[in-house]
Structures are given as C-alpha cells and as structure tokens.
Amino acid sequence: MNKSETLYYLDQRGIKYEIVEHQAVYNMAEMEKIALPHPEADAKNLFVRDDKKRDYYLLTIKGNKRVNLKQFQEENSTRWLILASTLDLKN
C-alpha cells in the first residue's frame, strides 16, 4: 500500500494515528537533533536479511537499546543476518 492507501485503511477502521514527517536519519545522534512530539517513544528500525537473501526482517526497538543480531538469530532459528542494503529495501 502507498501512503494514501495506508491512511485510508486506518481511517476506515477508526484507528487513531499521528503523522510526524522528518528528513531521514541514520543514527540516534541525528535523531536527537529533531524535535519530535514524543521523545520517550523513540524507536529505531533495522531492516535485515539472511545471507541467502531469502528472508527479510524489520526489527523495531526502543531508541536507546542495542540490537544483538546473533541473539535474534539464535532465538528465531534464522540463518546468518546482516543489514539489508538500500537496493534490498527498494526491491
């Protein structure tokens, strides 16, 4: 779904939401420079894939936490994981 379809979907189901748009940031230091309405709810998204490009995962965690990919692999019985590339994200 594109943005307008997603918003329509939420509206039709009476789901409340708040839109905050900002430039792309690539680390939490950059994120701290943006005035967001709910800084206590900061989160980061990591788009990762397995080494065979078969399975992709979007990991969302609190902004002040670190991700342990090895632990995630073990707990979810996945293959070796790495950050997905910009090209992977577009495909």
91 residues of the chain, pLDDT tens digit each: 899 999 999 999 999 999 999 998 888 899 889 988 988 888 889 999 999 999 999 999 998 899 999 999 999 999 999 999 888 877 7
What per-residue confidence (pLDDT) applies to 26? Answer: 84
| CA-based max dimension of the chain | 40
Which domains does the chain show, CATH number per domain? Answer: 24-90 (3.90.960.10)
Contacts of 45 (CB under 8 A, 6+ apart): 58, 59, 60
What per-residue confidence (pLDDT) applies to 3? Answer: 92
pTM score, two decimals? 0.70
